[in-house]
Structure formats: C-alpha cells, structure tokens
Amino acid sequence: MALTLGLAACGNDGGTKPADGGSSAAASGTVKIGFMGDLTGSNAGIVIPPRNGAKLAIDEYNKTNPPVKIELVPYDSQGDASKAVALAQQAIKSDKIVGLVGPAFSGESAQVAPVLEEAEIPSVTASATNTNLAANGWKFWHRILPNDSVQGPGIADFIAGAAAAKTVFVIDDKSEYGKPLADAVRTQLGTKAVKVTNDSLDPAESDFSSVVNKVAASKPDAIFFGGYYAAGGNLLKQLRDKGVKDAKFFSGDGSLDKGLIDGAGAANAEGALVGCPCYIATPDVADAKVKTFADSYKAAYNTDPAIYAAEGYDAATVFVEAVKAGNTTTDKINEFLKTVDLGGVSKHVKFGANGEVEAKDIYIYQVKGGAITLLGKAAEAKLG
C-alpha cells in the first residue's frame, strides 16, 4: 500500500517538471487558471465580455492578497477547434493550469473537453450552449448556463404565449450554434399548433434578399432567427426595408449584442426581442450584488457588462472559491465543483452530476430606444 502511494507520488513528480514548480505551486503561492476562446477572431465580440468578467473576478481576488494567488492565462483559439486542442495541450503540459474557463464555443468544446477529461483538468464554460456536450459523461466538464434545449423551448413558449403568434417564420444560419437552436424552437412551436415556415441563410453573405422575399410572401406574425448578431442585424434591416414591418423579430443569445442594433439601425431594431439563458446587468437593475458587479465592471473596462460577462465572472468565481477553500490540485478543485453551492451574479450556481448548472432561467430582452433592456424571465415576461 505504502509502496503504491510512493510510486504514485514519484510519477507525479516526474510528470510535473521541477523547474515549473508544479508540485510546489501551492506553497509558493500561485496557481494558473486558463481562459480559452475566440479573442481576436470574427466572433470575439461575444467572448471578450466573459473574458473581462473572469479577469475581474480573479483581479478582485488577488487584490485581497491571499496566500495563494491566481493567474489567468488567456488562450486565443480564434474559435478554431484544432488550434484550441493544441493550445489546451500547451496549457496542460507547459503551463500546468489547474482549471479552465471555457472553451467559449460549442465546436471547440467538443474537441477540447475530451483532452481535458483525460488530463483530469476541470473546466467551466460560460457560453457554449450546445446540448450534446453534456451527454458525453465527462466528469471534469461544467457549464454555468442552461443549454439550447432549454433556451429554444423557452423562447418558443414566449413566442406562442406572451407574443401570441400563430404563424412563425424560423430562419437559421446553418452554424453549429444557430441550427440546433432554431431546430429546438421549431420543435417546440410544432407542439403548440403554430404554423412554422423555414429557411436558412449563409452568414458570410450580406444580401439576404431571397430569405426576405420568402418571409414577405408568407406574412408571418413572428420571425425567429437562430444565429449571431452580425447576420441578425443585416437580416432585420433588410426585412424592414422590404416592408415586413409588423412581424415581431425574435432571436437567441448569439444576437444579444449592441451589434444587432448597429447593424439593423435603431429604428428598424426597435421592439426586437432576444432570448438568452444569460443575465445582463442592465442599468435599472435593483439587486445589490448585480449592481456592484456592473459598477466594478464599468470601472475596470469603461463599458457596461455585455453578453456572458456575468457568466464569465461567476465561472471564475467558482475557481476562486475553490482555491480559497484550500484546493490547489486539479482533482481537489473538481471535487469542490461537484459540491459548490453559491449565489453568483448571473444565477445560483450549483452543478448537476452531468456538469450542467441547475438554474434553468431564460431571460427575454427587448430593444427599446436603441438599447437592450431586460423584459424579464421568459416564463413571466409580458409584452408591453
């Protein structure tokens, strides 16, 4: 028994090179947490806010001058899965991270998570919402927001319920994110006696006239777009320009960005509705904890917290709490994640056995006067 233990310890020492001080890290007082996502690519707009959020949490913690400090190491995958895997291997072997916030997107998560799983490094993603990710039996993978099969039906219920639409035109952008989300909306609408018409577009294009013509011909009560804000804004503008003025425009979390309003123009975007499993601290918020977060975020980055900023903050906070509780090795941190139970900024954080967070709230946002405002939880919100 003693012999095996000794061997195990030796094996560990051999694996973590003394120069890097992997084993002595706890004593010397710094552990590394990674953040992985598209930091310079074309969808960086929805990854920078969670990165900022995570950095804020770590900075706040380090300012308290704790015995063990945390260093946040950024890994810019540009959303490319093969780059993400190489970076993850670098993070594991050379940087010896003890945890990872990310990867930001579902595609890269599908490839990076198995690598982290084998290396036994816990991760918490703040924005990858693809449903299938949770079905792999990964023990070190966590997600701090509800997935698409919660988001899609949540929005669909709102479209058929509060918005009382009878005919809906559902468009997706054929991306790994937009297609499954739109499909979830389609399925849910199908159960509610709503007539659904479909089309898809290519987000690399800028002329969506063929889609717009179809929408104009079918005269729907509501339109749902599953995709990112860049294409969403152009689509919305072209719809309104083509005289599709009465149909309500809905979209999902990928369109929850000021870019949607910039792309469509404030007048065209007015009244557009966006669902999101995320909680954005809007200026009129009352909750003290959220308000503190919004203020310190604004102070640090000179901009209001945007999409997934609160989720990024919470994901990093989970690791901070783990380190605070004296866990500095990967398996101990993972044990901590299994039992964590704390009130975060975005939601109450508690992970289920498959790594999914237990809070399942979807929020509906509306564009009013050129700004995104919170309407409320999808199940409760009313259209004014």
If one asks whether residue 176 binds another protein (CB under 8 A), the answer comes out as yes
Q: Which is nearer to another protein, 230 or 310 (CB)?
A: 230
| Minimum distance, C-beta of residue 46 to another protein, in the bound complex (Å) | 11
Binding flag, residue 277, another protein (CB under 8 A): no
Q: What single-letter amino acid sits at 198?
A: N
Nearest to 358, CA basis, from 87, 100, 115, 150 = 150
Name which of residues 246 to 275 contact another protein (CB under 8 A).
259, 262-263, 265
SS3 142: strand
Q: Do 130 and 177 meet the contact criterion of CB atoms below 8 Å apart?
A: yes
* Closest to another protein by CB, 26 or 306: 306
| Residue 147 three-state SS | coil
What element of type H or E holds 170? strand 167-172
Question: Which of these segments, 19-27, 44-52, 331-339, 351-359, binds another protein (CB under 8 A)?
Answer: 44-52
Kindly report each contact of residues 90-97 with a partner whose C-beta sits within 8 Å and lies 24 or more positions away, as own/partner.
91/34, 91/36, 92/116, 92/119, 92/121, 94/20, 95/32, 95/34, 96/16, 96/20, 96/22, 96/25, 96/32, 97/32, 97/33, 97/34, 97/73, 97/121
Is residue 305 a contact point for another protein (CB under 8 A)?
no
Q: Shortest distance, CB of residue 210 to another protein, whole angstroms? A: 3
Minimum distance, C-beta of residue 357 to another protein, in the bound complex (Å): 22
| Cβ proximity to another protein, 302 vs 339, nearer residue | 302
184 strand-pairing partners: none
- State the nearest-atom distance from the C-beta of 151 to another protein, in Å: 16
Count of residues binding another protein (CB under 8 A)?
Answer: 64
- Residues in contact with another protein, shown as a per-residue x/- string from 71 to 100 under the rule CB under 8 A: -----x----xxx-xxx-xx-xxx------
Q: Let me know: does 271 contact 363? Beta carbons within 8 Å.
A: no
The residue within the footprint of another protein, chosen from 53, 99, 102, 107 (CB under 8 A), is 107
Decide if 126 contacts 101 (C-beta within 8 A): yes
Which of residues 16 and 200 has its CB atom nearest to another protein in the complex?
A: 200
Comparing CB distances to another protein, the nearer of 87 and 101 is 87
For the bound state, the minimum distance from the C-beta of residue 209 to another protein, rounded and expressed in Å, comes to 4
Position 13 contacts another protein (CB under 8 A): no
Residue 30 tokens, joined: 């710094």
**Residue number, 136 or 187, with CB nearest to another protein:** 136
Render the burial of 109-143: b for 16+ CB within 10 Å, e for the rest. Answer: bbebbebbbeeebbbbbbbbbbbebbeeebbbbbb
Which residue, 160 or 182, is less far from another protein as judged by CB?
Answer: 182
Q: Do the beta carbons of residue 223 and residue 239 sit within 8 Å?
A: yes
Q: Which of 170, 258, 264 is nearest to 221 (CA)?
A: 170
CA 167 to CA 242: how far, in whole Å? 19
Tell me how far, at minimum, the Cβ of 199 lies from another protein, in Å: 6
In whole angstroms, give the CA distance from residue 165 to residue 17. Answer: 62
Pick from 114, 139, 282, 360: which binds another protein (CB under 8 A)? 114
What's the first-to-final CA gap in the chain, in angstroms? 69
Site for another protein in 115-134 (CB under 8 A): 115, 117-119, 130, 132
For the segment 187-246, give every residue that binds another protein (CB under 8 A).
198-202, 204-211, 213-214, 216-217, 230, 233-234, 237-238, 241-243
**What residues between 47 and 76 interact with another protein by CB under 8 A?**
48, 76
User: Where does this chain bind another protein (CB under 8 A)?
Assistant: 40-42, 44-45, 48, 76, 81-83, 85-87, 89-90, 92-94, 107, 110-111, 114-115, 117-119, 130, 132, 136, 174-176, 178-180, 198-202, 204-211, 213-214, 216-217, 230, 233-234, 237-238, 241-243, 259, 262-263, 265
